[in-house]
């Protein structure tokens, strides 16, 4: 996913010592003397952040004061463009800090966040509740018809005007005060939620000391568990954790059903225990505060507030899409459950299918039906080759190249750096890649920017892909599952969106687009990852170098609809749960745990499937930018399936004309025009849902 991160915190420890660092020694306050002016990660220390944040806020306040005190009549140049240029130091510090806090947090970074985030929240509110500034923005907005603005400038102006309105600029003084209180409290709760989730994920480990309990597990999985045990000082033992590269293979292959149940329940009960990391109370308060915020701003609920700024426009449109897919997928999931139960019965299992059985028996059924073994498939997906496969696709489509650089400071010792060049050899930007899990890294996969592209500011993009793939063990490289290979392509698609941006203004460049449009560039890349002609180029056996046999590729293609009922229902139940939370209009505190159960019961989620994210670890919506927005992946799936169909219709999935159009209208334009207009400019028509329904086996010709 494109991880939309907000600066958030909770009240706590102070870091007064950080204020004592002399400004002259602070690399964050100086121009970066590095190749391509990438962040000097090797010179930045924790003590540098607080003074840099505070200096950045001070400078932006002065820049805002200069705008509001300008005696000249408000114009796009002296108001909107001036706003775009303001806060450059603060933005620089924010991007670096947020990215490192998510990917390599420490107690020190957490403490800094706890101290600075309330100040940053108040600072941002101070801009959007500044009456003098809003009057100038409104004056430019109201007179834009006579200003001869470009399309991009019109979008930038709309961005600011809407941001002020949505930020409370039209509210009465008492309502403004309450809004700032809500924003500050939500920031506190959100950071606490994420902290609790990380602690819960790291707190559990399944220690195995009997070799027979490893039955069914592939050699690579066993080796990784042995390495995890050795890292913890446990000899002749094996450790499995709640990080996806550890737990998911265990659930897929481990013969010991009791251990599968144990680790599965530990996974789904994160944040639900009666301890300091319990997230249910936090959820209840966040839902209440979001409902109150929406009401203050004139919306019936928080979902209406969020979706109003997206392509979908209304919750009703979101529900129409989600319910259409849910109603078609749920019967498929029930048929799949019945089929797995039959497999259990005929192989001597005297029990009813449970959630911790699904992955185990679906793996057996897939092997039985299609002759597919995920362990065999992963031998053809060493991480480096998958990455090179993604680079190859980008080169064939857009002519760009990727050169590894060993002279750039890295955000983490395990990260890699690549210079990205256009077909003519000119510099485009820098891509960092950070692929392996660690206790200090949030779970999941994402793309973010250390520096977004902007012609106005003279910025070339510096972006990062962060993932959590299995580490190499011994002589064995990191071997990805097919799903993980698609994840790498997905996040790389987000990176291309940031790298190939050609916008003037930073507020609309790169991935600064509507949430339900931002997943199009990422999800369309998954189509190339799975295309047979692309698999032949990068799926090679890590030992022999032999390409994946056509027979195996055919099996993968034949099995593409296998388990789709489970996949869609697991995801869509989370999307509908998200919408339910943010359709609450009453500001009274809900019993979040009871609310979750009632919602999932109401939509008919079957007991054999657990919602993809239970609420206490649903970080997308309670510790990120996807509140009332988890649906966006499905909305963008409609776009990506239809967009890839445009390539396939030409008979060439690398069709140069379509590639040029996709780069010109989707990847390079950011949010500089209405997303549907950009899509229609690429496609020549509005998107159809039919290609998506066919892909999921929900529509047949």
Tens of pLDDT along 135-152? Answer: 999 999 999 888 899 999
Q: Give the C-alpha separation, 316 to 631, whole Å.
A: 12
Residues 40 and 79 in one domain: yes
Order of strands across the sheet that contains 427-434: 401-404, 416-421, 427-434, 462-466, 446-451
Neighbours of 591 (CB within 10 A): 11
Tokens 């600029």 belong to: 169
CATH code of 315's domain: 1.10.1370.10
Neighbours of 632 (CB within 10 A): 26
pLDDT tens string 171-229: 999 999 999 999 999 999 999 999 999 999 999 999 999 999 999 999 999 999 999 99
Give the angle 264-265-266 at the CA atoms, nearest 5°: 90
Residues 665 and 617 in one domain: no
Nearest CA-CA partner of 373 in 253, 530, 486:
253
- Is residue 190 domain-resident? no
Q: What is the pLDDT of residue 213?
A: 98
pLDDT tens string 426-439: 999 999 999 999 98
| SS3 state of residue 60 | helix
Q: Which residues, in sequence order, are CB contacts of 225 under 8 Å at separation 6+? A: 208, 214, 217, 238, 239, 240, 246
| SS3 state of residue 264 | helix
Tokens found for residue 691: 């290609």
Three-class secondary structure assignment of 503-540:
CCCHHHCCCCCCHHHHCHHHHHHHHHHHCHHHHHHHCE
Tokens found for residue 693: 């329904």
CB 28 within 8 A of CB 96: yes
Q: Give the C-alpha separation, 152 to 77, whole Å.
A: 13
- Is residue 597 domain-resident? yes
Q: Kindly tell me the burial class for residue 219, based on how many C-beta atoms sit within 10 Å of its own C-beta (0-12, 13-18, 19 or more).
A: exposed
Q: What is the pLDDT of residue 21?
A: 46
CB 685 within 8 A of CB 645: no
Three-class secondary structure assignment of 367-385:
HHHHCCCHHHHHCCCEHHH
**Which of residues 244, 268, 292 is at a domain's end?**
268
Strand partners of residue 363: none
CATH code of 670's domain: 1.10.1370.40
Residues 329 and 244 in one domain: no
Q: Kindly tell me the burial class for residue 530, based on how many C-beta atoms sit within 10 Å of its own C-beta (0-12, 13-18, 19 or more).
A: middle
Q: What is the pLDDT of residue 686?
A: 94
Q: How far is CA 139 from CA 75, 135, 194, 626, 689, in A?
A: 8, 6, 40, 32, 41
Residues 389 and 426 in one domain: yes
Residues 45 and 147 in one domain: yes
pLDDT tens string 281-311: 999 999 999 999 999 999 999 999 999 999 9
Below-50 pLDDT ranges, the chain: 4-22
Neighbours of 454 (CB within 10 A): 23
Q: Which domain holds residue 457?
A: 383-558+632-695
Residues 245 and 353 in one domain: no
The helix or strand, by DSSP H or E, that contains position 449, with its residue range, turns out to be: strand 446-451
- Is residue 473 domain-resident? yes
- Is residue 179 domain-resident? no
> Annotated active-site positions, please?
491
Neighbours of 254 (CB within 10 A): 24
Residues 347 and 226 in one domain: no
- Is residue 5 domain-resident? no
Residues 293 and 424 in one domain: no
Q: Give the C-alpha separation, 279 to 199, whole Å.
A: 12
- Is residue 654 domain-resident? yes
Q: Give the C-alpha separation, 621 to 515, whole Å.
A: 13
- Is residue 642 domain-resident? yes
**Which of residues 622, 648, 664 is at a domain's end?**
622
CB 251 within 8 A of CB 357: no
Q: CA-based diameter of the chain, in Å?
A: 84
Output Rg (C-alpha) for the chain, integer angstroms: 25
Count the domains in the chain.
4
Tokens found for residue 386: 């998958």
Pairing of strands 427-434, 462-466: parallel
- Is residue 215 domain-resident? yes
pLDDT, mean over the chain: 94
Residues 450 and 317 in one domain: no
Residues 508 and 433 in one domain: yes
Residues 531 and 639 in one domain: yes
Residues 241 and 387 in one domain: no
Q: Give the C-alpha separation, 391 to 418, whole Å.
A: 11
| Cα dihedral 369/371/376/378 (nearest 10) | -40
Q: What is the pLDDT of residue 5?
A: 41
């Amino acid at each position: 996913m494109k991880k939309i991160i907000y600066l958030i915190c909770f009240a706590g420890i102070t870091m007064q010592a950080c204020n004592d660092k002399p400004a002259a020694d602070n690399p964050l306050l100086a121009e970066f003397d590095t190749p391509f002016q990438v962040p000097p990660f090797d010179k930045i220390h924790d003590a540098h952040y607080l003074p840099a944040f505070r200096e950045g806020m001070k400078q932006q306040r002065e820049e805002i004061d200069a705008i509001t005190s300008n005696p000249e009549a408000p114009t796009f140049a002296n108001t909107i463009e001036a706003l775009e240029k303001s806060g450059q130091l603060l933005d620089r510090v924010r991007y670096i800090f947020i990215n490192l806090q998510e990917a390599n947090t420490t107690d020190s970074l957490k403490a800094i966040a706890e101290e600075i985030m309330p100040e940053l929240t108040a600072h941002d509110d101070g801009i959007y509740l500044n009456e003098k500034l809003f009057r100038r923005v409104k004056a430019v907005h109201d007179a834009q018809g006579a200003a001869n603005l470009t399309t991009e400038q019109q979008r930038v102006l709309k961005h600011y005007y809407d941001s002020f309105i949505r930020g409370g600029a039209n509210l009465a003084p008492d309502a403004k005060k309450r809004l700032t209180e809500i924003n500050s409290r939500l920031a506190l709760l959100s950071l606490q939620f994420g902290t609790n989730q990380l602690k819960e994920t790291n707190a559990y480990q399944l220690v195995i000391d009997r070799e027979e309990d490893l039955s069914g597990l592939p050699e690579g999985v066993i080796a990784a568990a042995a390495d995890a045990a050795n890292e913890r000082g446990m000899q002749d033992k094996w450790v499995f954790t709640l990080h996806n590269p550890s737990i998911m293979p265990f659930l897929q292959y481990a013969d010991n059903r009791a251990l599968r149940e144990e680790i599965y329940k530990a996974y789904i009960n994160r944040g639900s225990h009666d301890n300091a990391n319990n997230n249910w109370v936090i959820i209840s308060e966040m839902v209440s505060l979001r409902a109150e915020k929406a009401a203050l701003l004139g919306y019936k609920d928080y979902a209406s507030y969020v979706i109003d700024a997206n392509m979908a426009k209304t919750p009703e449109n979101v529900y129409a899409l989600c319910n259409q897919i849910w109603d078609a997928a749920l019967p498929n999931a029930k048929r799949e459950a019945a089929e797995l139960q039959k497999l259990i019965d005929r192989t001597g299992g005297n029990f009813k299918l449970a959630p911790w059985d699904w992955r185990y028996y679906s793996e057996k059924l897939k092997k039985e039906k299609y002759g597919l073994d995920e362990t065999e498939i992963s031998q053809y997906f060493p991480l480096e080759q998958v990455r090179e496969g993604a680079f190859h696709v980008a080169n064939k489509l857009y002519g760009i190249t990727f050169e590894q650089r060993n002279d750039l400071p890295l955000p983490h010792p395990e990260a890699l750096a690549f210079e990205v060049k256009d077909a003519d050899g000119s510099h485009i930007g820098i891509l960092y890649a950070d692929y392996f899990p660690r206790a200090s890294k949030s779970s999941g996969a994402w793309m973010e920017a250390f520096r977004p592209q902007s012609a106005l500011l003279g910025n070339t993009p510096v972006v990062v892909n962060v993932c959590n793939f299995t580490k190499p063990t011994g002589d064995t490289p990191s071997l990805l599952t097919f799903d993980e290979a698609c994840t790498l392509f997905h996040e790389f698609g987000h990176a291309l969106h940031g790298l190939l941006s050609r916008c003037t203004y930073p507020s609309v460049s790169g991935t600064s687009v509507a949430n339900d449009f931002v997943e199009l560039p990422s999800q369309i890349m998954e189509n190339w990852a799975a295309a047979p002609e692309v698999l032949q180029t990068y799926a090679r056996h890590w030992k022999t170098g032999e390409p994946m046999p056509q027979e195996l590729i055919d099996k993968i293609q034949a099995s593409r609809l296998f388990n789709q009922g489970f996949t869609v229902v697991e995801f869509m139940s989370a999307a509908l749960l998200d919408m339910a939370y943010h359709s609450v209009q009453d500001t009274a505190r809900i019993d979040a745990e009871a609310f979750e159960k009632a919602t999932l019961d109401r939509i008919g989620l079957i007991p054999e499937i657990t919602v993809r994210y239970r609420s206490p670890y649903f970080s997308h919506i309670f510790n990120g930018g996807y509140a009332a927005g988890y649906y966006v992946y499905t909305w963008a799936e409609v776009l990506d399936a239809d967009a890839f169909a445009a390539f396939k219709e030409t008979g060439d999935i690398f069709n140069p004309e379509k590639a040029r159009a996709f780069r010109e209208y989707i990847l390079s334009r950011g949010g500089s025009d209405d997303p549907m207009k950009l899509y229609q400019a690429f496609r020549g028509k509005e998107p159809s849902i039919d290609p998506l329904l066919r892909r999921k086996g929900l529509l047949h010709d």
